[in-house]
């Protein structure tokens, strides 16, 4: 029987943790997290890290394993996670890759091009340029340094533009030259499922989850890392909105409203991304038994 990596993905708030634990227990296996924020040990509430009971129900990896102060990216994750997967496959025939971080899942399933870590001084300089001269100046610079990527990138997204510029400036090569878009072959079988449900139901789940996060102490958690807010690892929904509240730019109520709105927007983006992959099989989060039955037919 070939070694099989089962990918369980879906939008934020859909219930991936609960389903993955049931699947992991059925196959007596382990879970490799593909969540780009749950990986940070300083973050817990705002990243919906599995509870102690959930972590004890099945072995998990890449949960709160790194610091927000580390320079971490999908390329590094690909290297570290593949090394772990190779080790785990020595004693397991089936492993689970669980999470909603699109680039991290692609890094394992398809591979990404090896890019250098960003130079912090270059990034700081570009952010200063953004603040003083506006986004248009960065767009024009990108158009000059990497016209190919300029045609593809979301020109309203300053983070994407800054990332492309910092790599282009640091290496002297266009950012697009590092993006070959050629899928790498993996020495194991990959089976993918995604969870989804009615849009309004999902939106209600997300709104309720944000309320529960606030009740659980998300504001206190955000304050504990506020002094590190400039770090890319904290440029994420749930923290950026509260940082804006701490800065006095918006009210607490507005921050909560924005966390809910931005979480819903991110969920829609995830669903759109996953639907592009025709190899993904879709299920409702309540269909654990059906999922296990389908996986049995794919693995055997």
Domains of the chain: 4-113+182-299 (3.40.50.300), 120-178 (1.10.20.140)
Residue whose structure tokens are 């309540």: 286
pTM for the structure as a whole:
0.83
Return the pLDDT at 180: 67
pLDDT < 50: residue spans in the chain = none
Residue-wise pLDDT tens digits, 37-51? 999 999 999 999 999
Rounding to the nearest 10 degrees, give the CA dihedral for residues 223, 227, 229, 234: -60
Return the pLDDT at 122: 87
Rounded distance, CA 46 to CA 8, Å?
A: 21
Provide the token pair at 130: 């953004």
Return the pLDDT at 195: 98
Return the pLDDT at 154: 87
**Mean pLDDT of the residues in the chain:** 93
Mode of pairing for the β-strands spanning 189-195 and 280-283: parallel
Q: What is the 3-state secondary structure (H, E, C) of the chain?
A: CCCEEEEEECCCCCCHHHHHHHHHHHHCCCEEECCCCCCECCCCCCCCCCCHHHHHHCCEECCCCECCCCCCCHHHHHHHHHHHHHHHCCCCCEEEEECCCHHHHHHHHCCCCCCCCCCHHHHHHHHHHHHHHCHHHHHHHHHHHCHHHHHHCCCCCHHHHHHHHHHHHHHCCCHHHHCCCCCCCCCCEEEEEEECCCHHHHHHHHHHHHHHHHHHCHHHHHHHCHHHCCCHHHCCCCCHHHHHHHCCCCCHHHHHHHHHHHHHHHHHHHHHHHHCCCCEEEECCCCHHHHHHHHHHHHC
Return the pLDDT at 212: 97
Return the pLDDT at 170: 82
Residue-wise pLDDT tens digits, 217-236? 999 999 999 999 988 789 88
Return the pLDDT at 184: 85
Return the pLDDT at 98: 98
């Amino acid at each position: 029987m070939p070694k099989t990596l089962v990918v369980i993905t879906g939008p934020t708030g859909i219930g991936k943790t609960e389903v993955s634990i049931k699947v992991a227990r059925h196959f007596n296996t382990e879970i490799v997290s593909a969540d780009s924020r749950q990986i940070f040990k300083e973050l817990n509430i705002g990243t919906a890290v599995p509870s102690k009971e959930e972590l004890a129900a099945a072995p998990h990896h890449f949960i709160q394993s790194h610091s927000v102060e580390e320079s971490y990216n999908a390329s590094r994750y690909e290297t570290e996670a593949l090394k772990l997967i190779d080790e785990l496959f020595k004693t397991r025939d089936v492993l689970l890759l669980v999470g909603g971080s699109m680039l991290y899942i692609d890094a394992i399933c398809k591979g990404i091009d090896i890019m250098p870590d960003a130079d912090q001084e270059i990034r700081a300089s570009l952010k200063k340029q953004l603040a003083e001269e506006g986004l248009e100046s960065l767009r024009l610079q990108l158009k000059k340094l990497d016209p190919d990527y300029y045609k593809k990138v979301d020109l309203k997204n300053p983070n994407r533009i800054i990332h492309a510029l910092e790599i282009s400036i640091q290496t002297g090569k266009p950012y697009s030259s590092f993006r070959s878009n050629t899928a790498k072959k993996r020495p194991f079988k990959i089976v993918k499922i995604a969870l989804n449900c009615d849009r309004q139901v999902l939106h209600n789940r997300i709104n309720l989850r944000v309320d529960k996060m606030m009740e659980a102490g998300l504001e206190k958690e955000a304050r504990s890392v506020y002094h590190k807010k400039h770090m890319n690892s904290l440029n994420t929904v749930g923290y950026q909105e509260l940082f804006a509240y701490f800065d006095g730019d918006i009210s607490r109520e507005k921050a909560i409203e924005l966390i809910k709105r931005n979480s819903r927007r991110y969920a829609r983006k995830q669903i759109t991304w996953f639907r592009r992959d025709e190899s993904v099989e879709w299920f409702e989060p309540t269909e654990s038994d059906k999922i296990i039955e389908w996986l049995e037919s794919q693995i055997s």
